[in-house]
Each structure stands twice: as structure tokens, then as C-alpha cells.
Amino acid sequence: MQNELNIVGIQTNLTWENPEKNRLFFEKEINKLSKNTDIVVLPELFSTGFTMFPEKVAEKMDGITVLWMQKIANKNNIALVGSLVISENNNYYNRLLFVYPSKKIVTYNKRHSFTLAGEDLVYTSGEQKCIIDFKGWKICPLICYDLRFPVWSRNKENYDVLIYVANWPSVRIQAWNTLLKARAIENISYVIGVNRVGTDANKHSYSGNSIAIDFLGDDLASLQENEAGIIQTTLLKTNLQDTRKKLGFLNDMDNFKINI
């Protein structure tokens, strides 16, 4: 088990429906990072922005952006995390990829489609939660709108870190700030939330507010509104374990079953 986990989140504007330009930007930023970095987290649909026209930008699992993620993860000896538009079996998915340094890929399809934007009309919802084992840490990756649904993220698996990638608009940023802390406190888990900034082609504004939060709801690292940059933090496994042992709150959670 690795006691320390060094995580970086990149908060930036995204070039609309232009995977090549977005890849070039993120590659440049990742190449600047410390060699001690373990995980790099990119925003939701990092290669295109939150488009409702997946047919214009969708890739297969052997597509250019997936291969790029494998290359960057391997070259920099990091795990690389982010979601993109994937076409599979005649469906489109808002799919998160967790790419290991070895190029191994674990995927999670966004469970909760954002009906307010019509995401449910063009993307197929996922049906399975995903728990990733990485360097002795258990990580639960989720996507944007999933944040509003605490039952889906409830810590039945004894995970250590929740990661949310997002395109969460400025108009509802108070909910983002509040719910991230709630998820950390109720699950006694580290939480990493990585959002974008800027304005997209639909004139939706994004203020970022990316943040790392500890298992008691305290800020570890954050960015100011509308600030492009990175959040960087070191998570400590022993601190998490000691707190869970001392408080024992997870032992008292209700038993439940989710019907998909």
C-alpha cells in the first residue's frame, strides 16, 4: 500500500468540439507536472466540451483520444482520468476512462444523464458503479450530475477517494460547492472535484471551483472562480484509516439495494 497519493486536477477552458486542440493543450500542461504525480484528473468531456451532438466527435475505444491517454499515462508514469464521447454498439456514452501507467483502462459510463440539457436523449446511461484499485487505494470515479444523487455514491465498497469530473455551470455553482463537501463528510472519503472554466458554444458559463476535500469536509486545495490552473494535493491513507476507525460512522449506514 502506498500511504501518499499525489493528485493533480487541471481546470481550464475547453475548445468546443475540437479534440486535437484540447489534447495538445492538456499534453503541454501534463508535461510540466512534478514527476511525483500519481493521478491527473481532467474535466468531463475534456476533448470536446459538453456537446449534445455526439455523432460529430464520438470515438471508438481504439480511437485517437483513447490512444493519446494511454500514451500520456505511460510516458509520464501517471494514471490519467477524464471523460469523453465514446461510440459503442450503436450507442453514445459519456464515458470516464481511468488509464493506468501500464496503459490498462478501466471505464465508467455516466449513470445520471443531465435531462435539463437533453443528455438523456443522445447518450446512453451507465448501469454499473466502478471501484478502481490503484497503488493500494480504492477510487470511485463519477461524472458531474452524479453528484446530485447520494445513494449512487454511498460508500458501500469502503472506497478511499471519490473523483468527480464535471462541466458544472456557474449558475448552479453553490450546489457544486455544497454537495462535494456533503459527499466527503457522509462517506468519510477524500473528494476530488475537477470542473472547467469559460463559456461554451451554447453560451453556458463555467466558473471552475475545482477542489480537493478531506474526509471531514475540510479544503485541501482549491482554485478561485474563473481561474485556469491546477489543484494539487497529497492524500494520506493512514489519516483516513485512523479517522474511520475512531468515528465508525460507516458501520452504521443503512443497508439498501439499487434497482437499475
Question: Which spans in 141-231 are helix H?
Answer: 150-153, 173-187
How do strand 105-109 and strand 91-99 relate by DSSP bridges?
antiparallel
- Asked if residue 175 lies in contact with residue 144, where contact means CB atoms within 8 angstroms, the answer is no
Question: Which spans in 32-130 are helix H?
Answer: 64-76, 119-122
Nearest to 183, CA basis, from 206, 204, 166: 166
- Asked if residue 14 lies in contact with residue 197, where contact means CB atoms within 8 angstroms, the answer is no
How far from 176 is each of 128, 180, 218, CA to CA, in Å?
Answer: 23, 6, 15
Catalytic residues: 44, 110, 144
Q: Which helix (H) or strand (E) is 191 found in, with range?
A: strand 190-194
How do strand 161-165 and strand 190-194 relate by DSSP bridges?
parallel
d(CA 94, CA 52): 10
Residue 231's beta-bridge partner residues? 9
Mapped onto helix, strand or coil, the DSSP state of residue 245 is helix
Amino acid at 113: S
Number of C-beta neighbours around residue 30 at 10 A? 20
